[in-house]
Structure 1
Amino acid sequence: MSLMSVQGLGKAYRSYRSEWQRVARWFGLPSKPVEEHWVLRGVSFDIGAGEAVALIGQNGAGKSTLLKIITGTLHPTEGSVRLGGRIAAILELGMGFNPELTGRQNVLHAAGLMGFDARQIAAAMSDIEAFAEIGEYFEEPVRTYSSGMQMRVAFAVATAFRPDILIVDEALSVGDAYFQHKSFAKIREFQKQGTTLLIVSHDRNAVQAICDRALFLERGRVLMDGEPEAVMDYYNALIAEREGALSTVSVSKTADGRTQTVSGTGEASVESVGLFDANGRPLEFVDVGQPVVLRARVAVHADLPSLVFGYMIKDRLGQAIFGTNTYHLGLPIENLRRGERFDLAFAFKATLGVGSYSVATGLHATESHLSGNYEWRDLSLVFNVANISRETFVGVAWIPPELEFERDET
């Protein structure tokens, strides 16, 4: 069942020669603006009950405008939004807070605007104060708060009562790591209880850990709608494309149905990549802690003064587990000629937890693929880790401890 339906949404900011022309347009009379700037156009999507969706895009893409329209603080120029439940939103930091009122007074005001009566707010106040953890500042004016303290109070009041739909803008990037962990734990708790989530974040790990789906907004339009890993790969590839000259981005399906993104100028490419055991035999399943070798063959298609090869191991959600490159490993690869080929071998122990993993590869001119990106290839390799010979453990990393036990005999 769709809990949020956005259809043909558009928002334009218009300038008129006079205010009379603006008023005339309100009443449906012909009045042509002298300037018209669309920040959103033709945006349509549906979000089901209990679904977690990320909204990503560069600054100026229209994300905040879209959220304001969905929450009703801004009117659209065209299109419609239909919501199927109570909504709670954390948008611009401190939005709706009166800086002269105390934290407690602002909570009373904010929760009242959310539709809760005095009895409900009083019953939840102690939990809100405890969750925010700002101590005596709860009784001080908000103008004395740091940005992190404002975030704590805003999040605490917005999540004091479980909403049907929770919308969170970049606000969670403000503040300390402890409260961010606490906030995401709260969000996951709501997810389990059936809350629909729409979150704006540039944090790839957060997006892929929490969300089932991602919408990529570009210049006011939905450019891509799909699995978080595929959308984030495409988003990052476009950013790299804009940093480099003559770079291209392509999206295709792998044999197992995954979406693979490849970007770069094409001046060099990875011809093959594979994972092998110590005897050179190819591996599809790897034992926890097994010594392995990642081998790659690179073809050079233009004369290059320098080249850096890098790889990144990701878990099944696309979150980075480990990455490095020849620059950081102290191996210069210089003065390459068109038509050359070379091989690289990286030996390491697969101290990974049980699960499915992928390897992304990168070829670039300097230490980062954001500068001189010859090729970035996601899903270059997929492999699985199984626990065949180790003690039972959980998690994405195998970090075996040495256990000591000493009983006090006194």
Structure 2
Amino acid sequence: MSAISVQNVHKSFYTYSSEWARFAAWFGAPPKLKSQTDILKGIDFSIAPGEAVGLVGQNGAGKSTLLKIITGTMQPTKGSVTVNGRIAALLELGMGFNPDMTGRQNVYNSAGLMGFTQDDIDGLIKSIEDFAEIGAYFDQPIRVYSSGMQVRLAFAVATAVRPEILIVDEALSVGDAYFQHKSFSRIREFREAGTTLLLVSHDRSSIIAICDRAILLDDGHVRKDGAPEEVLDLYNALIAEKEGHLLEQITDASGRVQTRSGSGEATLETVRLLDETGKPTELVRVGSRVTLEIVAKVNTDIDQLVAGYMIKDRLGQAVFGTNTHQLGQVQQGLKAGDIVRFRFAFDANIGYGNFSIAAALHGHETHVEQNYEWRDLAVTFSVVNADHPEFVGMAWVPPVLEVER
């Protein structure tokens, strides 16, 4: 049995030709419409109990509408949603709060709407106040709260008791760094205890670190449902997609899915990782000197060319990235047929494990504008610790130790 099952869900918003036409439609008369806007166009997926799923997509893809339908605050035009378990949802910032009531009063009001009794809330109020950490503002009207304080209170209420299903929209992104860490620690605790999670975020690291899989919404459809890294790589490519651009995902010999996108004015001829002797390598020692070589071919005359790369860990989280725009080495006035070789030399001060490198060619500071080619998994390599003291983590940042007694 699924915790959440979404079956053929459609959602359309109508503009009627008149108020009489709207009224008549309530009683089954054929609708007379000025316009119809289709937001969701047949959404199908299910989430198993205890599973964590990330929901991503560009603005206007239908994410917030879908969440409102799942939580029951909006009805679908067509299709059905089945939910098995108590939902706690943190959607729009401050949704359900009365601005003229104090934080404490809003806790009683919101928790009551969630089904808690007065005695339940009396027993929880101290822990909610402690977790929110808003001090004297707890007894001040919500209207004097900052957006971050509203998030603190809303999250504290929604997670006062571990829910069977937790749905979190982008609201946490407005909180301060300390509270974001605190909130995600609680989310991880709930996950370990069996809570089903549906997380909407533009933060790649959050999705990859927490979620078992991800769903990409695009123009009201499920564009891809799969491993977080594959879905997020496709989402990254979609952001820069324009009409006529290449956009493909292929499975390499190791079974990993590689995403390529771009307009083709310049293309990646070769991408290689070289060791200290200049030979291609897939095995790197911690701290050793390596060179990333990117060879670009210019296919049409272009004003400028930027080359960049991103090192990612085995889960797809960014380790380090830069490009020639940020390094002050933009190439100007290139002609069709030109070949440009870029060599990025650096010390591999990263922890041991498996890594990949995404390479990109574009015309501006980032690939979002004038994306000539973006290629994920352009290089894969492993880092081993052959000659340094044992350590843990993603980075090699050795300290100079002094001890006094």
Which residue of structure 2 lines up, in the alignment, with residue 198 of structure 1? 198
Which residue of structure 1 lines up, in the alignment, with residue 350 of structure 2? 352
State the secondary structure of the residue aligned to 2:399: coil
The answer to whether structure 1 residue 127 and structure 2 residue 127 are counterparts is yes
CA distance in 1, matches of 2:330, 2:119: 68
Which residue of structure 1 lines up, in the alignment, with residue 176 of structure 2? 176
Which residue of structure 2 lines up, in the alignment, with residue 112 of structure 1? 112
Which residue of structure 1 lines up, in the alignment, with residue 4 of structure 2? 4
Which residue of structure 1 lines up, in the alignment, with residue 61 of structure 2? 61
Quick one: percent identity of the two aligned structures? 59
The CA deviation at 1:366 is 2.5
The CA deviation at 1:56 is 1.3
Q: What does the per-residue CA deviation read over 1:337-379, in whole Å, with 9 as the maximum and x for residues that have no partner?
A: 3223232222211111121111011111222222222111111
State the secondary structure of the residue aligned to 1:241: coil
CA distance in 2, matches of 1:282, 1:318: 23
2:259 touches 2:376 (CA, 8 Å); kept in 1?
Answer: yes
The CA deviation at 1:20 is 4.8
Which residue of structure 2 lines up, in the alignment, with residue 283 of structure 1? 281
CA distance in 1, matches of 2:249, 2:110: 45
CA distance in 1, matches of 2:266, 2:21: 58
Which stretches in structure 1 are left out of the alignment for 5+ residues?
none
1:263 maps to amino acid: S
The answer to whether structure 1 residue 384 and structure 2 residue 382 are counterparts is yes
Of 225-234 and 98-107, the range deviating more from structure 2:
225-234
Q: What does the per-residue CA deviation read over 1:19-44, in whole Å, with 9 as the maximum and x for residues that have no partner?
A: 45444444445445443222112011
CA distance in 1, matches of 2:244, 2:24: 48
- Moved segments of 4+, more than 6 Å: none
Q: What does the per-residue CA deviation read over 1:203-241, in whole Å, with 9 as the maximum and x for residues that have no partner?
A: 122222222211111222211212222222212212212
The CA deviation at 1:18 is 4.4
The answer to whether structure 1 residue 343 and structure 2 residue 341 are counterparts is yes
The answer to whether structure 1 residue 367 and structure 2 residue 365 are counterparts is yes
Which residue of structure 1 lines up, in the alignment, with residue 245 of structure 2? 247
Q: How many residues align?
A: 405
CA spacing shift, 1:68–1:405, aligned 2, 3 Å = same
1:177 maps to amino acid: A
Alignment partner of 1:260 out of 255, 258, 263:
258
CA distance in 2, matches of 1:30, 1:308: 56
Which residue of structure 2 lines up, in the alignment, with residue 329 of structure 1? 327
Which residue of structure 2 lines up, in the alignment, with residue 189 of structure 1? 189
State the secondary structure of the residue aligned to 2:151: helix
- Output aligned runs, 1:135-154, within 5 Å: 135-154=135-154
Q: What does the per-residue CA deviation read over 1:224-260, in whole Å, with 9 as the maximum and x for residues that have no partner?
A: 2122222222122122124xx7433222112212221
CA distance in 2, matches of 1:113, 1:354: 49
1:273 maps to amino acid: V
2:352 touches 2:385 (CA, 8 Å); kept in 1?
Answer: yes
CA distance in 2, matches of 1:64, 1:337: 45
- Output aligned runs, 1:13-162, within 5 Å: 13-162=13-162
2:216 touches 2:225 (CA, 8 Å); kept in 1?
Answer: yes
CA distance in 1, matches of 2:60, 2:293: 41
CA spacing shift, 1:41–1:332, aligned 2, 3 Å = closer
Q: What does the per-residue CA deviation read over 1:252-273, in whole Å, with 9 as the maximum and x for residues that have no partner?
A: 1122122211111111111211
CA distance in 2, matches of 1:352, 1:97: 46
CA distance in 2, matches of 1:232, 1:322: 17
The CA deviation at 1:336 is 2.6
CA distance in 2, matches of 1:56, 1:382: 26
Q: What does the per-residue CA deviation read over 1:281-340, in whole Å, with 9 as the maximum and x for residues that have no partner?
A: 322221211221212222221222321111111112212111112222232423333223
CA distance in 2, matches of 1:356, 1:67: 36
CA distance in 1, matches of 2:265, 2:304: 11
Which stretches in structure 2 are left out of the alignment for 5+ residues?
none
TM-score, L = length of structure 1: 0.94
Alignment partner of 2:293 out of 292, 295, 317:
295
2:17 touches 2:32 (CA, 8 Å); kept in 1?
Answer: no
CA spacing shift, 1:347–1:15, aligned 2, 3 Å = closer
TM-score, L = length of structure 2: 0.95
State the secondary structure of the residue aligned to 2:3: strand
State the secondary structure of the residue aligned to 2:109: helix
Of 152-161 and 338-347, the range deviating more from structure 2:
338-347
The CA deviation at 1:182 is 0.9
CA spacing shift, 1:96–1:346, aligned 2, 3 Å = same
1:398 maps to amino acid: W
CA spacing shift, 1:21–1:372, aligned 2, 3 Å = closer
CA spacing shift, 1:16–1:345, aligned 2, 3 Å = closer
CA spacing shift, 1:108–1:301, aligned 2, 3 Å = same
CA spacing shift, 1:347–1:117, aligned 2, 3 Å = same
Q: What does the per-residue CA deviation read over 1:123-161, in whole Å, with 9 as the maximum and x for residues that have no partner?
A: 111110000000011011111111111110000000000
2:50 touches 2:191 (CA, 8 Å); kept in 1?
Answer: yes
CA spacing shift, 1:15–1:325, aligned 2, 3 Å = closer
CA spacing shift, 1:284–1:77, aligned 2, 3 Å = same
1:196 maps to amino acid: T
